[in-house]
Amino acid sequence: MHQSKEDLLQQYKGCDVSSLPKPAAIMDVAIARRHCSTMLQAVQALNVNFRAHVKTHKTSELALLQIGSDMHDVHLAVSTVAEIEHLLPTLCNLKESGRAINILYSVPLPPSQTSRVAQLARRLGPGSITLLIDHPSHLKPLLVFRQEAGFPSGVFLKVDTGYHRAGLPPSSLNKGGLIDEIARLESEGDVYFVGLYSHSSLSYAGTTASEAMDALGSEINGCLDALNYNQASLPKHHSIMISVGASPQVVAIQNFAGRNAGMSGPTITLERALEDISNFEIGGCQITLELHAGVYSVMDMQQFSTRSINSLGHVDGEVALSVAAEVVSVYNDGERQKPEALLAVGTLGLGREPCASYKGWAVVGRSQKCHKANGDSRMIVERISQEHCVISWDLADWPKEAQLPRLPLEVGQTLRLYPNHACVTGAMYGHYFVVDSDILEPDIVQDVWVRASGW
């Protein structure tokens, strides 16, 4: 049973992380706040629109950090209707304060969810909901939405720019007359066409900022190709938005825009793509660029491994989400081929997501004791079971024939584990215990953020 925020605060505010029931999801608000601020500065410096995805954390509190207080337009993306329901009080407050709200349901519209989304739209008003489509069968639910909400939804056409999860290739975007029908429905007041949407996670395979920037440039080019292929069928508009992104390639703009500008310039591919957008025209229609990203706000080991920004520090200072877990046994006395320890958390508390940069399931945070004893060597989750895992030294830090030292651990000790995939790890918990590394007591719970759950 999920407890309310008020009950959780009464019980745990002021507690040390080591005293919490474990495993526990810990969110460092100082790190998340910094990542959100840096992103907002970068998109403002680049003069592009930004849509913050909330699927990683699914909380109202972090969504507010993602959108900041300066931009009038609040553009968010969700992966489930439950996220909209959870955010609804916050969204209503933002609307009452005079800000324009738009929520993108960022998977192709499931017909079974249409009425549920329409009822939420009625609460938020016209212009509040944008839907994603990539199949002619999605047109009928758009009409259901129009009837039940009392106004049309926005529509993004999903373009597949190479990731092959959803969407249509640029040359096939008018599948079954899809674009022609959107133009007709818009002329009758049943939808309004927003533009093209692509989400490509190909940048996760990269390991440099240049690769991430090239991935962003290629994704923009794929959407421009779609406009070229289909310009005769597109609705006649004064403006069409191209929305592209995934955290590695969007984070990469921070190398040359905003707070960290000057670390490196954009790659030729990205620079030309940005120029092409500014020069592109379809019958006088202006093309605007929107970037979207989500996990940048929290980071994780998969993000860290892409090295899409040149200024990254140590994991402990860059990844906001960790899992507090307890050591339940230590094997330092020759029982095994190398020193190991058993922790009371496993796949159901961490996930089982791989990371390209190391052979493990999470990275153990540096405690003062571990760091002093062993320099930069780190421990990782080497093996993982349902509710337990085994940690050991990361062998990549040691010479092949090295005699590994004892693990500087004790039974009952609390460790912080930094996950490979924050979106998956966060979903294992109903709430985050929030700490703040910018204050004198960085391990004391300052707040509790309750997550949306389910679909």
**342, 388 Cβ separation under 8 angstroms:** yes
Count of other CB atoms within 10 angstroms of residue 262: 8
Q: Could you report the average pLDDT of every consecutive run of 10 residues in the chain (455 residues)?
A: 90 98 99 97 93 98 97 96 98 97 95 97 98 96 98 97 86 94 96 94 80 90 92 84 92 80 75 87 84 97 89 90 98 94 98 95 79 69 98 89 90 98 98 98 98 96
Q: What whole-number distance in Å separates Cα of residue 275 and Cα of residue 253? A: 15
Which pLDDT score, from 0 to 100, does residue 278 have? 84
CATH number for 315-450: choose from 2.40.50.840, 2.40.37.20, 1.10.3720.10, 3.40.47.10: 2.40.37.20
Alpha-carbon distances, residue 54 vs 64, 75, 188, 210, 302 (angstroms): 10, 11, 33, 26, 18
Which pLDDT score, from 0 to 100, does residue 371 have? 47
Q: What whole-number distance in Å separates Cα of residue 40 and Cα of residue 35? A: 9
Q: State which H helix or E strand residue 451 sits in.
A: none
Q: CATH 3.20.20.10 in the chain, residues? A: 48-299
Give which of 454, 453, 443 is closest to 27, Cα–Cα.
Answer: 443
Which pLDDT score, from 0 to 100, does residue 203 have? 72
Total residue length of the chain: 455
Q: Secondary structure of 34-70 in the HEC alphabet?
A: HHHHHHHHHHHHHCCEEEEECCCCCCHHHHHHHHCCC
Q: Which two tokens stand for residue 416?
A: 């912080």
SS3 of 357, please?
A: coil
Q: CATH 2.40.37.20 in the chain, residues? A: 315-450
Q: What whole-number distance in Å separates Cα of residue 126 and Cα of residue 193? A: 14
Q: What whole-number distance in Å separates Cα of residue 143 and Cα of residue 181? A: 12
Alpha-carbon distances, residue 395 vs 122, 312, 404 (angstroms): 56, 23, 9
Give the model confidence (pLDDT) of 389-419 as tens digits: 999 999 988 887 778 999 999 999 999 999 9
Q: What whole-number distance in Å separates Cα of residue 123 and Cα of residue 146? A: 14
Q: Which two tokens stand for residue 391?
A: 């940690």
Which pLDDT score, from 0 to 100, does residue 386 have? 98
Radius of gyration from C-alpha coordinates of the chain: 23
Count of other CB atoms within 10 angstroms of residue 187: 11
DSSP 8-state code for residue 314:
-
Fold of 48-299: TIM Barrel (3.20.20)
DSSP 8-state code for residue 265:
P
Q: What whole-number distance in Å separates Cα of residue 83 and Cα of residue 59? A: 8
Q: What whole-number distance in Å separates Cα of residue 440 and Cα of residue 169? A: 52
Which pLDDT score, from 0 to 100, does residue 264 have? 67
Q: Is 22 exposed, middle or buried (0-12, 13-18, 19+ CB in 10 A)?
A: middle
| Spatial CB neighbours of 208, under 8 Å, sequence gap ≥ 6 | 307, 308
